[in-house]
Each structure stands twice: as C-alpha cells, then as structure tokens.
Amino acid sequence: MKTIKIKNKDNEFPVGKILCLGRNYIEHAKEMKAEIPSKPVVFLKPSSAIIRNGENIIIPNISKELHHEVELVIVIGSGGKNIPAKDADDHILGYAVGLDMTLRDVQNEAKTKGLPWTVAKGFDTSAPISDIIEKDKISDPQNLAIMCKVNGAIRQKSSTSNMIFSIQTVIEYLSSIFTLETGDLIFTGTPEGVGLVNSGDIIEAEIEGFIKISHPVITA
C-alpha cells in the first residue's frame, strides 16, 4: 500500500483513491485545444501510481511521449458525502505538490477512439507527490505559486488563483459523486506549459515557499 507523510513528521498515511481534474486552468485548456469545461472533468489514478520525492519516473514502453503536469494536490483528512463548499475546509488535512504524469500519445489515441484515459494517466510512477503541508501552514491555498522545471529550466509557472473550479467547489462537486475518505488525494489540474520529458531528464515540481520534489526520468 502506498503512503504519504506530513512534512517534518514521521507517521505515514495510506493513500486512498486519487481523483484528478482535467482542464481546470483556462490557458491549459486552450493549449490542448479543448473546450473550457462547464463542470469539472474528472478521472482517476490508482494509488499504485504514487511515488515519493527522489524516486524514478519510468516511461513505459507503450509510449514515446511522456508529459509533465504540475498540480496542487488536496489531501483529505476527514471524509464525507455531499460536502457543501462552505464546509470543504473542515475535510482537508493539507496540500501537496504533485505531478500528473501523462502518456500524451496514448491519451490522444484514447480521445480519438472515445476510450478511457486510464492507461495514459494511471501507469506506475504516474503520480509523484510531495510530503503534505498541513492546511494551517497555508493562509490562502487559492493563491499559491506552483512551478515545474525540467533540467533547471522553468516549463510551467502559475498560481492556484487561476483555477476554473476552486478548491471548495471541487470538493463539493466530487463529494456529491464519490464518498471522500481519509487519505484520498485530489489532483486539481495543471496550468499551461505542459510538455515532453525524456529519459535522463530531471523534473522538479514546487509550491513556491513551501515544498519541492525532484524526480529523474528513466525508460523501462
């Protein structure tokens, strides 16, 4: 079972389900030539996809086009069903930075054929994640600078203020469909600037001023 931990603490939390949003930043939807969604676009990753800071991201041999997507991750502390937006904060343990690693060629083929994204989004090592920053350490989670670098060069840099669906709205929406449970993760979507990574690259993802992860990319 995969676990994550709170920064500077020892106890490990088992990871539950991983809910992910697509197209939650306007500029990313535009670069994908996709419609701006009127309700959240949702997909899942299995918890087996999790890796922790420093571990290798492995490009599976079914793909020649691995993309980075840096995202703010919400960590659920106490679960619930039909959580109103105004109560969402009570259910959050904290936040982390994650990478929604995506096999873009496999995803594009699935989109074309009207098939699910599960393989493109859920393969082993597709969910690198940092330790958790407890929510009381972050005064405004809707105003965090998130960034992704490849080999030291900035590829993505945005603010969580640019999300289409806010953290509270996302929790209200998702909990109306899926019962949220302790240890569930919500990847909240990526800003613009997604792009290719190759074997030998180093990807860094960061919530500026709070936490950072760094991962080598290798081939299977």
Kindly state whether residue 193 participates in binding Mg ion, applying the rule CB under 5 A. Answer: no
Q: Which is nearer to Mg ion, 100 or 204 (CB)?
A: 100
Would you say 13 and 180 are in contact if contact means Cβ atoms under 8 Å apart? no
d(Cα 139, Cα 124) in Å, to the nearest integer? 33
| Min separation Cβ 163 and Mg ion, Å | 12
Q: Binding residue for Mg ion (CB under 5 A) from 28, 29, 69, 127?
A: 69
Would you say 172 and 83 are in contact if contact means Cβ atoms under 8 Å apart? yes
| Min separation Cβ 122 and Mg ion, Å | 12
Q: Which is nearer to Mg ion, 69 or 184 (CB)?
A: 69
| Min separation Cβ 154 and Mg ion, Å | 18
| Min separation Cβ 17 and Mg ion, Å | 16
Kindly state whether residue 100 participates in binding Mg ion, applying the rule CB under 5 A. Answer: yes
Q: Which is nearer to Mg ion, 156 or 190 (CB)?
A: 190
Q: Which is nearer to Mg ion, 69 or 204 (CB)?
A: 69
Kindly state whether residue 131 participates in binding Mg ion, applying the rule CB under 5 A. Answer: no
The residues near 87 (Cβ < 8 Å, ≥ 6 apart) are: none
Residue located via tokens 């676990």:
3
Q: Which is nearer to Mg ion, 2 or 67 (CB)?
A: 67
| Structure-token pair, residue 99 | 């990478």
Q: Binding residue for Mg ion (CB under 5 A) from 51, 190, 203, 204?
A: 190
The residues near 68 (Cβ < 8 Å, ≥ 6 apart) are: 99, 101, 148, 150, 155, 156, 194, 195, 197, 203, 205
List C-alpha distances in Å: 32 to 42, 64, 95, 106, 181: 16, 18, 26, 15, 32
Note the residues at the interface with Mg ion (CB under 5 A): 69, 100, 190
